[in-house]
Amino acid sequence: MAYLIRRLAPHVVVKDRSYKLLVKDSTDRGVFQLEPDLLISGIHGQSMIIDTKWKMIDSSYNRHGVKREDFYQMYAYLTRYERVGTVILLYPHHDRVNWANGEPLESWYVEGRQDKRVLVYSINYEDERLALLKLQLIMKGIVE
């Protein structure tokens, strides 16, 4: 994924390790390293995070089967990375995922912060050309 996104975006950091989630009072040491898969710096100071998952999701399940811990992880990214307005959960596409018209499978925002969003997409990793087209749709507005 990093290879494909680098073809579309001018600045991509793979496995960014800039932030810890918490700092212990007694030692001033950070704990719980945040490490998003891809941090993309875009236009107008906006950035986005794409976190690739290798789990199978399924459109027949509530929230497409996205796990609660994945939402908490994305929430941590949205709240810790101030310039990040969008976090993408990117899953492999397969025949049990219904997807149409380039829209996200799921879309949420942080309560009270509609500018902080979590979007869920699936992508076919096997066809590089189609994957690039899908990534362009996903990153539209961030990287132009």
pLDDT, tens only, 13-52: 888 888 888 888 888 888 888 889 989 887 777 889 999 8
Q: In whole angstroms, what is the distance from residue 40 CA to residue 56 CA?
A: 24
pLDDT band of 139, cuts 50, 70, 90: confident
Q: Is the pTM of this model over 0.75?
A: yes
Please check the confidence at residue 57 and state whether its pLDDT lies above 80: no
Determine contact, residues 40/143, Cβ cutoff 8 Å. yes
pLDDT band of 88, cuts 50, 70, 90: very high
Confidence (pLDDT) at 111: 93
Confidence (pLDDT) at 78: 94
Q: For the chain, give the longest Cα–Cα distance.
A: 52
